[in-house]
Amino acid sequence: MNFSIKNYSELINYLNQIWSDIDYSKLLNTPDYNLNNCNNPLCFSNQFYCFIKAPHLNYISFSQNISSIIGVEDTNMHLKDFLKKIHLKDQEKVIKSYCKTFYNLKQNYHNLKPLKCLSLIDFYIRKETGEYIKLLQQTCIYNFNRYSKELILLFIFTDITDLTPHFFINQSTSSSANHKALDLFTKRELEILDLLSNGKSSHEIADDLSISKHTVDTHRRKMLSKSKLGNTAELIAYTFSKDFVQ
């Protein structure tokens, strides 16, 4: 689907429309939780996270880790203010990512599982000092309740600046495909990476590519060995930083 939404107002209108079209009775039910728990340590030192509670999408509750990474002291922020911190060249990409996430929710909500990764996207964001850093955003379902008609999405942000060349504020942040990608990974490995970056499991990738799960896992191990990284999450972050996948 081609999304033409480019600003905050259009985004909120679209997401509210998507949410109103979802059949709440088909949502699985998970135990309630306390939003205040978002201040408890959940991530590594280079990560912070937030919860977005649908259909009330305007305000975001961030973990306290956000202050050490981008310098924001207030952990409650309006979504519009957060989008303003994202580099202008990446704002449209992030907005389209939110649209795509909710569109996929609408199409596949009957198969959703808690903590399943819905999307991965990278973008530059401005710190309070004026410096830009690069974040990898992972979107997961945290909780959904068909009785209260609420869905809570968990967003985990990882600082991947150290995995990229130094970024100067007057440089463009637009992505360009790395022509050396095929020198490191085979075409099949890049296909698997692309599916991994969209939250697919080894079983799902095997079905999509008509290969065995063993073959998928073998390719994953080879990619980890080539990139000298420790796990799949680091591999995905690395390949996003190098623009191997979009």
Q: Where in the chain is the domain with CATH 1.10.10.10?
A: 181-241
> The tokens of 114 are what?
């808690």
Q: Where in the chain is the domain with CATH 3.30.450.20?
A: 8-163
d(CA 100, CA 196): 17
159-210 per-position pLDDT tens digit: 888 764 433 333 333 333 333 444 678 888 888 887 887 667 788 888 888 8
215-245 per-position pLDDT tens digit: 999 998 888 888 777 777 667 766 655 555 4
8-163 CATH:
3.30.450.20
- Bridge partners (DSSP) listed for residue 69: none
Q: How confident is the model at residue 37 (pLDDT cuts 50, 70, 90)?
A: very low
181-241 CATH:
1.10.10.10
56-98 per-position pLDDT tens digit: 667 788 888 888 899 888 888 888 888 889 998 888 888 888 8
Give me the DSSP letters along 201-236: -HHHHHHHHT--HHHHHHHHHHHHHHHT-SSHHHHH
Contact in structure between 117 and 139 (CB atoms under 8 Å):
yes
Tell me the residue type at 107: Q
d(CA 38, CA 20): 26
pLDDT the model gives residue 124: 92
Number of CB atoms found within 10 A of residue 63's CB: 22
d(CA 89, CA 76): 25
In three state form, how does the secondary structure of 134-168 look?
EEEEEEEEEEEECCCCEEEEEEEEEECHHHCCCCC
